[in-house]
Structures are given as C-alpha cells and as structure tokens.
Structure 1
C-alpha cells in the first residue's frame, strides 16, 4: 500500500475524543461533520424530529456515527470518497454493524458538509450566502446558483469571468478585454458590485478589480440573485458573488494539472493538502498556478501566477483555527478597454477580423493582490456555532490605458481613428473583521434558527493622478487604421498632475431568524443596521488646492422577510421581500457621485429537491423598483477619466428565472437555466438594451462506462436574444447584435488509475458575434484545450 494510502487509512482508524450531549440528530450530525471532516448528506425529512443519544469517550469515526444513529432506523453509506449519505436501514440489516459505514479512504474534506470538491456534483447541499443561516437551496427564499469545483474542472473555468458566463441569469457586458471597468457583470438589469470571499464582503468602490480573480484557490462560487442587503450591508438588486476558498483536508491528497490550448495557451496547477501531525489535527494546503497565454486578439498576452497557502488546527473537539495567505498576479500586455469603431465615417458598418486589436503595443494592465486571513470557529455543546475572522487585502493595480475607439475611419484611406489614453494607479488596502454566530432556540414548543453578526470593513487608498484622455502636445491620431501595427503613436507623456486619497468604512450588524410556524411553514425575518462613509480628497499640483468630498449614510436599516411553505415532501413555495440601499461609486460628468440606489425588491418562486438534495430545481418571478439607477453615457468621462453616468428614478425591473442543477441519474450531471429580465424607466422606455433580456444556458456531462470505463462526455450551449444600442455612428443609427448560440463540448477519460486526460472544444461551430453593441469587440472563435490531470 502506498505511504499516503497507509496514512489515510490510519486517519480513518484513529480514535478521537467525542463528547456530545443528547440533542437533536441534526445538531449531532453537524458536530460530527465538523470534527471528523466527513461530508454527511441527508434529506431533512429523515432526521427531522429525531434525537441523538449522548456519547462520551474515544471512538473511531465509524463507531461514533453508529452510536449517533442508534435507534434512528438510519444508516450511513459511503456513496463516494469523502461522503456519507444517510438512508433508511433495511429491516433485515438494521442492526448489522458493517452496514453502518463501509471503510472509507477520504480524498476530500467537507467544510461543514457543503464543500463541493470531490463530490462530482453540479450542486451543493447547503449555503449561507443568502441570509446567514445554513440552509439547503430549497429552504432559501431567494434564487441561488452554485458553480461547483467539478463544474469548473469539466469546463475549464479558470477565471471568474468564465464562471459568470456559465451562471444562470448573469451576463458579462464585454466592451473590451476582461478585467477592465468597461466589462461589467449584470444580473436582473443591474451591474454586480457585491463580491465576497468566504461570505465576507470586499468593500471597495472600484469593484471590477475582483473580476480578475483566479479560480484555482476556490472550492465553489455561490451566486445569490436579487437584493442581498441582509448579508452585505447594501441592498443592491443585482446579485452577490461569494467565492469560497478551498480548505485543508484531514488526509493526504495531491494533484497536478497541465493544460495546453489554442493561441499558445499554457497553464499548470498544483494542489497539495496533507496532515501535519500524526492525528491529522493540524493540516495544511498549498495551491499554485502559473498561466502564460496569447489570445485570438493580436498583441494581447495574459500571464497569471497564483499562490495560496492555508493551515488549520483543531484546538479541541469543538474549536478550530485557520490562517492563510494568497497572492494573485494578472499581467496583460496589448490590453484594450474597448474595441475598434463599429462605423465608417460615411455611416456604413465596418467589418473587422476577430483578431484585429484596438490596443497599441504599449498598453498594459497589471493587477496584483495579496490577502491574509485568520479564522476561529467554535462549536458549543448546545449546538451553537461561533465564527470570527479578520482579513487584510492589499491591491496593486497599474493600468496604462490605450485603445483605438475614438472617431470613425475613412473607408478608403483608413484615417480618422484616434487612441483614448490615460494612466491609472490603484493601490487600496482593505481590512475586514467579521464575527457571527448561529444556532437554534426553543420557543412555543418548536425549535427555531437564529444568526447574528457584526462586520467592520475599512479601505484606504492613496495614489497619484494623471491627465485623462487629452494630453498637451500629443496627437492620438492613427494615420491608417487598416495597416496599423500598434506602434504609432507612442504613449503620451503623462506626468503626475496631483494626488488623491480615499477612505471608505462600513460598520454593520445583522440578525436573521427562521421561525418554524408549523411543520410545513417557515417564516424568515432579518435586518441589517449599517453606518457607511466614504471620504475623498484631491490635490492639484497646478493650483496647489485640495478639494474634499464626503458621502455617508448613518443608521441605514435593511429589512428582510421571507416565507417558505413545504407543500409536499419534495416541493416548496416561497416569497421574499427586502428594501434596497446601495451606495454607488458611479460618477456624473461633473465628478459627483450619484446618490445611493434605493427602492424595494419582491420575489416569489417554487423549489424542488430530489435524491438527497443532489438535484435542485427552482423557478422565480421578481419585481424591483429603484431610484437613482446609474446609466452609462457612451464615450463620456468623469473628470478622473472614469466612465460617466447619469441617474434615473422610477425604474422597474421585472423578470423570471428557471434553473435545474445537479444529478439527474447516477453518472449524469446537469445544469440548465432560462432567465428573462426587462428594465424600464418611469416613462416605460427600455433601458440597458446592450444587455440581453433573455438568456438560456445548458451544460451536462454523462459517464459512459458501457463504452469505456470512466469515460465522461459533456457539452453545453449559451444562447441570448438580440441586443442593440441607439444613436450610434455618424448617422446616429441603431447597432444590433442578433440573437446567437455558442456550443461547447468536453470529454474526459482516465488513462490510468491516477491520470486523466480531458479535452474541451469551445465555440464548436465558430460562431461570430459581438459581445456588446457599443463597438466591434468580438467573442472568442473556436478553440481547443487539452489537459492532463494526475493525482498522487
């Protein structure tokens, strides 16, 4: 037996100290999962109303689980490595000890029973992203999507933008290369600016910086669509994106992945997790990734390096401490914030190759971030859980912006196009401290759930200011765009003209409770109290003057209310309501921040859960009313060079979403969704017409053991309806991108017990399409990637 297998077997057989009081079986299973690091799956109906006996002593995990389930009529069955599924025991074998749990060599650790790594699933058992309580997707009165580790590996989703493109109801409105502020993410008609890591919101006014996140260090991404002010302290009606880090495993596991693809794409990933002492009470994990890639767009090259290390230790049976450090570097050369002009000077449409670049050779984007964190978790004897965390993130973003989107070319001479150019240095430091607790309490003869939390977040930024877009003594003109190689004109002389500081802070507390009014009806209530402030100062070297601005909101209360009614064993109906309060970082053409977004959001829906929550189905209808909604003004900038916006009030956003995710049958995983959103202003006029109203997404994989043992094949499609922009080009006409569909295929085959080869063919039919209706920026052509995975 290999050394690591012997070590894993030793961990499985090792005795641990268990001291659990008599308590509801659900609470006992939670404690068991935390202490042993097993993922325990079950239908809520199986454990509801059951009591676990008290156990005290030294047991193996098998022995402890057997005692917890004694008299319940349930058994734990190892359905896959690292996972135990509870089922009703056959009468003839209910008392057989070997029925309780077959020997398991754990290859993946579950974080409170919801980690997706190693499960092979396209869904998760539960999430806390919506209201702070550990609820299944069916129990959560909002639309929740989860992109699991298996889904990311199947489709080769290495960047957050890749994940978003595959998520129900989300759209990347891409005007240029990803990682720019000109490529916002939209949900339900609004741009997404709520980004979280392990459930803690990243507080920063320039939120597009988080679009550069690499997925190597994350177990899954949880997306809650709709207003999430209860958890985030701000009620943006779009969505929140919560990236959940990988955690150390109690047994040894290691893997390496080498990936090659079109346009000189090269990437290598290494992931090692191991116990650091004999009992496994101290364990660590190291994740590293290196990427060197060209692009289908001329001159664009993207390099990435990712390093993540984390150590955790069990201080006792109920207390865990975890500390980690991560660093991500994303460097792009030939980077363009926009595409080439969509019209000639005579008003007719241009026609560019998809490879034609709008970037000069000197344009670049460097986004670096370093994050350190410490977490403490404690499980009390009464089942209550306390978690405290502190995180510090340092961001270093340097962008020399240049893109040939100004003007319209003469169709004969190629003259008439110019370069937009500026320089941004962006170096914020952010500190976040978060403490929350959750557990159960008894009232009126029933058990209810309660979550409490407090968060302090602070961001500070200092940096130089440069001239924006217009530079004395420099001509941005390109002599002939048809023969342009990106070298002329050279970058403008852009000296520092001033400096600025920004201090943003947020203090908030929240509480949420799930009251079990009856066996079938749950009432969820909550509120968050927030104090928020953003102070800025700008100093001009030319005048010697300093200007100050202050935006703040004190005592802002964001309420939340939801109902969930189980009208059958598998199906629930729900409704939820929350108000909207969202401080905005968008600026008008004068440089003034637009007032906070306000309004309310209502959602009703139906959800179903099948096969021990391995398959989740949901459908929702929603309506959101907003004031101070920010609308981008094309090719118009604020004084600091950022995109300029105007505010409109009385807008309404309405729509519906349908999603199916999980295991349809053994070996068959599916994710399918359809979303429709229509947003109108107070006069009933459609707005955000460059964002599709309708989107459909499908991805599925199936294990074809009958053809070749271990062979998995998969495929999917992404469809959207037409998008358009009015008043475009010299003749102020409508620019339309018709509806289109992109099809992807995948195959994976284990060439040996530990080595797997996979192939991804994207945009199989080489569909040509614009990613936005604002310029001529095209989506990626057909591409091929081949990956070799090895486990140790």
Structure 2
C-alpha cells in the first residue's frame, strides 16, 4: 500500500476554532450574569466562587489542573506560570485509552514522537531539540531513547505535567526542549477499588487493578496498590510485546503537620521489535512495502526491567512554611538483541547487535518554601538543594556485524567489552515570587550546579564547576481573566569535545526567551495561552579552519549556534459544564546559525521533525435521557517532514512525508454506578502515512509506518 503524500497546501488548522470555543463558552456561562453563578461541578470537584481545582486530577473529570509546581517549585496556576505548560490529566488519559509516555507525547501540544530509529527506539522532541529529562514527582531522571528507553506505565500516575523550553532551574543539565513530569497516584482515605479489562485490535489484551484505602481506623495510615499487565500483537507480522507493572505506595501522618510517603514500583517490558524500521531504495525512494511488513528476525528481543524505590517527608510549620525532602532510587536492567536491514555492501543485508544495559539512577531533592513579609506585601520563597547520580554500565557483545545474512540464524553473541561511567550532579537553587503590586508579580530564580562525569573505562573524564542557571519571569494581570508575561531561563549541556589546550569545551547553553498572554476562565476550569519564543543553543562544538597547534587528534571551538523560533497556542479545560477540550497549535523553526559545516547555516536543524503541529482532543457528557452517554474524539495534524538522502553517486534525493491528519473517536456508556464501558477507534479513516522517514539507503535510520485503524473496548468496574 502506497503511503499518502500531501503537498504543502494540505490541511492547515484554523485558530479561529479556539476563539469560537472561548466566545461560546463565555456566553453560556455569562447568560445569568446578574444572578449568583451556579457552581460548575467536575465529578467530585465543585468549582464556585470560593473553590477551585486542586493539583490532583483523579476524579475531577477535568482536562486541566488547579496548580502545578513543575516549572519553579512554586505551586502556581497555569496563568501564574511564565512558560508554556500542559497537563495531561487522569481523565484525559482514560478518555484516550493512553497506556504509555508515547501516547502522552503524541497528544501533547508542541511535543513530537520521533521513531526515526525504528518503532523500538523512540525519542521525544520539543521546540526542535531532544527531550533528555523526565521527572517523577519532581525528581529529574535522565532519558535516552536508545540506552534506557523504558516507557513509564501510565496506570500509576495521576497526571503528567509538561514544561516546554529550557528547564535548567529544576533539572540542572539538559537540552532546551521540555521536561515531562510524571506525578504518581496517592493513597486515598476513602476506600476505592477498580478493575479494568480491555481488548483491542491485533490480539491486544490489558488488565488493571487499582485499590486504595485507609489502613487504620483514624485514617492516618493509607495505602494504594496498582497492578497492570498487557499482552499485544501489532499490525506488523509476528510482532509481540508484553508489559507488566506493580506499584505500591503508603502514606502516613506522623503528626498533624508531618506526612511520610514510601513507595515501590516494578515495571517489565518485553518486545521482539528492537529497531524494526523499513529500508528505502538505493535511489532514496520509499519502497512502499505493505504496512504489515516486519523486517526483523525471529530471534530478536528487547527486555527491560526497572525497579524504583521512592519516598518523601513533608513538615508544615505554623507560619505557612513547609520543609520537604524527597528521594528516588531506580535500577534498570536491559538486554537488547536485534538487527536492522542495511546496505553497507551492494546487497541488502543485516546489521546485528547485542548489549546488556545496567543503569542506576538516584535523585535527592530537599527544599523549604513559604511566605515572606516585606514592604507591606507577602512574597514567596523556595530554597533547596539536589543531587543526581547516573551510574551506567554497558556490556557489549560480538559480533557487531554490518553484513549479516538477511535470513541468518541468531548469531552466537560473545561478550567482548564493557563501558562504565558515573555522572554526578549537585545543585543548590533559590526561587522567589515577588508581589510588587496587585497586578504585578516577578519570579526570580538561580541555580548553581557542580557536574562530574567519570569514565571508569577510559580517559574521557570532565567536570563543570559552579555552572549558573538563571530564571526571570514577569507576570502582569490585565484584568480578572487575562495576564501577559515575559520570561528568560537557560540550561546547560556538558560536551566532550576538546579545545587547543586539550580541555573540554565550555558547556552548550540553551537560552529560552518567551513572551505570551494567558487566560483563566470559570475559576480556573478553563485555561488558554499564546506564547512566542526564541531559543538560542550556543557554544556548540565547531571545527576551526586549521588544526595547527592541536595537541590531540582533533580540536574544536565552542562557537556553534542553533536558533529555534516559534509560537505555542493552547486551550485546556471545561468549555461548558459538560464539555472538556484539550489542544493546541505550535510552530517551530529550528535552524543553524553557525556550524562546523558552513553549508548547514540557515538550514533546518531537524528536517525530519514537522515545523507545525495541531492537536485537539474533546469529550462531551450528555444530560437528560442520555446522561449515561459520553462521546469524544481527537485530531492530530502535522506539516511535512523530509530528509535529503545522499546517494551512492554523491547526488541527493529529497525523501518526504507530506502533511497529514489522523482522527480518533471515543464513545463511553455508564451502565450503572459501578460499570463503565468505552470504545476507542483510532485512525478512523485508516490513513496510511509514515510516522518517521529514513535518512540513508545504507544504515538504520528507517521508514516507520503509523498505526492503521484500530479498535479498543474497555470495561471498568469500580466499587
């Protein structure tokens, strides 16, 4: 089946739709403006003049949250946060039948799921750069699509908070892309149990168990257990995966002012699709193979197990201050055995590979926060310290063969090498929110990091001492519902290239400039935002014109620059009492300003990442005789992406996937107070498209088809 190609004049989303939604909803809520407003009820959460949504999203039926602390450690509403932010709530995860971080990224405005290395090695991008930081309850964890590509199982999370742009104040080192913060479910004092079963296309079966309750009569000790297992084939022939999760958490009130939380999770993922992308022709064209084509071998396997122990203790003082200490320790054990079709010689063959990854990550974060009185006004302060340790061990095996027979049996892999490195990062930070006037707030923050990379198997050690990260934001309230803001923040990325003094280059610095306007309606039940941003990633390694005087093989200069510019537009929350919406439009142009290769200047930094993304999700709950019924759907659209493929004769061919849209639908029915049924149909028009495209006819950056039409039926029984 031939992939659909659409030119540059394909579907172009209109921002007018969002404006219409806002205007319609304001009119509906303001119809009785001269009488006291009726409260808006979102499930268990009632929103009126005195009450707003809280941070926890479970049970609210909402597509937004009341506050989030991911950006600055301050518990701010979206309107009060001077950066582009998104929350994927528990309700939205359930409505769209999301199960993994891949689903979150696919449906979060401004984020792009990249499968350029095949469906088994995904990476995530925002504002033109790779996302290399994930967070769990606010503690950063390094992420690599290759080395530790475990996808957190969403069954154990209440919500996912996303901050786009540079996030150095909270993560330390990283790219100026985004931080994805997974916020775990917490125990409830009220007993609740749910059993979920799901069946979908291609023998996709899933079961979940979630139970929470007080563990003593007074309710001061609470516990929760979540279990999940999924076994699934896919649209590719003979592809199979299974995913298991156990999650347990306890919460104890040691006193009226002190709460201790301890938890453990174990996740196991296995798949026989390690790389799995399709090759392209020697002329650079798509081969247009059937979507069901599986280019892998029967012996391929990728198995990941990750065990995590975490906990935190919080003490609340009488003066409004609180002290919080949180820690997390995880160990990942992964075995990768796989291949991809390659053409290093004249004929199509396989590149085969095996490795064993043993990663340990530890994070500790301690901070105090509270109000400060000065100049007749109340301000807020956060001061804290953090530590991150990433201990990575990689055991390599031979053969690593680039010309292995297409139908060859599993190689006799023999261990022949080892890599071991320890990365330590210590930081201290300070953030303050200054209440300068009733409509004017200023957020100032700073962080100092000590970064140490220790290569235990070689001589690639390097350090970064006292790196300063800065944060500044100004928020001005225009009226009761709207605020304008401007912000600056940065982030650093250490690099291993060395200069003419045989010293590591200064870290790459990503500077994020952003201005925007935010709206908050219906007491925070609906949030809207428009942001314009520019990111300069400077100090990138470049090759000088001459290597004269270089004491090592190759010397570099820290003079490269990539610039990313664009806009973010987003709407999330309740448009009316029964209508939830989440979506947005983003435009990003990331291009080289200065690079080692002068030909790259003013060219796209990531041409196989679309510049424009439009994502819209909505759900509606009927009233009256149809009150048990809800319907919803979503549309994801992206602009074209391309790669200029270099051919054997030295010429190039521009390989493209044109713009395309994929639509999904959902219908749910509440049979009774205990039983809920839901049907999800994805890619309802069965659009054929490439979700990733190749960049070479030789090696494994490969074509990957998007999922065809699929069905999933979910039954949830709660009591």
The normalised TM-score by structure 2 is: 0.86
Distance verdict in 2 for CA 1:205–1:512, change over 3 Å: same
Deviation at 1:349, TM superposition (A): 3.9
Report the counterpart of residue 752 of structure 1 in structure 2: 672
Aligned mates of 1:455, 1:127 — CA distance in 2: 19
Is the Cα–Cα contact under 8 Å of residues 160 and 211 in structure 1 kept in the other structure? no
1:264 matched to 2:184: no
Aligned mates of 1:369, 1:322 — CA distance in 2: 20
Q: For 2:531, what is the secondary structure of its paired residue? A: strand
Aligned mates of 2:395, 2:570 — CA distance in 1: 46
Distance verdict in 2 for CA 1:708–1:620, change over 3 Å: same
1:173 matched to 2:114: yes
Aligned mates of 2:92, 2:497 — CA distance in 1: 34
Indicate the RMSD between aligned Cα atoms, in angstroms: 2.6
1:788 matched to 2:715: yes
Q: For 1:316, what is the secondary structure of its paired residue? A: coil
Deviation at 1:728, TM superposition (A): 4.4
Q: For 2:623, what is the secondary structure of its paired residue? A: coil
Greater RCO structure (CA 8 Å; 6+ sep): 2
1:454 maps to which of 385, 398, 410: 385
Matches within 5 A, 1:647-686: 649-682=560-593, 683-686=601-604
Distance verdict in 2 for CA 1:465–1:598, change over 3 Å: same
1:743 matched to 2:663: yes
2:627 maps to which of 704, 709, 713: 709
1:194 maps to which of 133, 136, 157: 133
2:517 maps to which of 606, 610, 613: 606
Distance verdict in 2 for CA 1:246–1:751, change over 3 Å: same
Q: For 2:401, what is the secondary structure of its paired residue? A: coil
Deviation at 1:113, TM superposition (A): 2.9
2:91 maps to which of 150, 165, 184: 150
Is the Cα–Cα contact under 8 Å of residues 43 and 61 in structure 2 kept in the other structure? no
Greater Cα offset, 446-455 or 345-354:
345-354
Aligned mates of 2:47, 2:661 — CA distance in 1: 39
Residue-by-residue CA offset, 1:159-190 (whole Å, 9 max, x unaligned): 0001100000000111255452xx22110000
- Structure with larger Rg: 1
Report the counterpart of residue 341 of structure 1 in structure 2: 279
Distance verdict in 2 for CA 1:670–1:86, change over 3 Å: closer
Is the Cα–Cα contact under 8 Å of residues 401 and 424 in structure 1 kept in the other structure? no
Is the Cα–Cα contact under 8 Å of residues 118 and 703 in structure 2 kept in the other structure? no
Is the Cα–Cα contact under 8 Å of residues 462 and 496 in structure 2 kept in the other structure? no
1:723 matched to 2:641: yes
Is the Cα–Cα contact under 8 Å of residues 150 and 269 in structure 2 kept in the other structure? no
Report the counterpart of residue 307 of structure 1 in structure 2: 246
Is the Cα–Cα contact under 8 Å of residues 339 and 405 in structure 1 kept in the other structure? no
Unaligned regions of 5+ residues in structure 2, if any? 1-35, 543-556, 594-600, 695-701
Q: For 1:212, what is the secondary structure of its paired residue? A: coil
Q: For 2:238, what is the secondary structure of its paired residue? A: coil
Report the counterpart of residue 130 of structure 1 in structure 2: 71
Residue-by-residue CA offset, 1:275-304 (whole Å, 9 max, x unaligned): 101121111000000000001112211101
Report the counterpart of residue 528 of structure 1 in structure 2: 447
Report the counterpart of residue 46 of structure 1 in structure 2: none
Deviation at 1:77, TM superposition (A): 7.2
Distance verdict in 2 for CA 1:695–1:528, change over 3 Å: same
1:429 maps to which of 360, 372, 392: 360
1:766 matched to 2:704: no
Q: For 1:230, what is the secondary structure of its paired residue? A: helix
1:687 maps to which of 584, 594, 605: 605
Aligned mates of 2:219, 2:703 — CA distance in 1: 55
Distance verdict in 2 for CA 1:595–1:785, change over 3 Å: farther
Report the counterpart of residue 501 of structure 1 in structure 2: 420
Aligned mates of 1:578, 1:256 — CA distance in 2: 44
Is the Cα–Cα contact under 8 Å of residues 138 and 609 in structure 1 kept in the other structure? yes
Greater Cα offset, 245-254 or 76-85:
76-85
Q: For 1:243, what is the secondary structure of its paired residue? A: strand
Matches within 5 A, 1:34-45: none
Report the counterpart of residue 327 of structure 2 in structure 1: 390
Unaligned regions of 5+ residues in structure 1, if any? 1-73, 89-100, 102-109, 410-415, 479-487, 539-546, 632-645
Deviation at 1:629, TM superposition (A): 5.2
Q: For 2:607, what is the secondary structure of its paired residue? A: coil
Aligned mates of 1:259, 1:469 — CA distance in 2: 40
Is the Cα–Cα contact under 8 Å of residues 161 and 182 in structure 2 kept in the other structure? yes
Deviation at 1:375, TM superposition (A): 0.9
2:82 maps to which of 141, 144, 149: 141
Deviation at 1:697, TM superposition (A): 0.4
The normalised TM-score by structure 1 is: 0.79
Report the counterpart of residue 555 of structure 1 in structure 2: 466
Deviation at 1:450, TM superposition (A): 0.7
1:357 matched to 2:294: yes
Aligned mates of 1:285, 1:629 — CA distance in 2: 47
Distance verdict in 2 for CA 1:585–1:276, change over 3 Å: farther
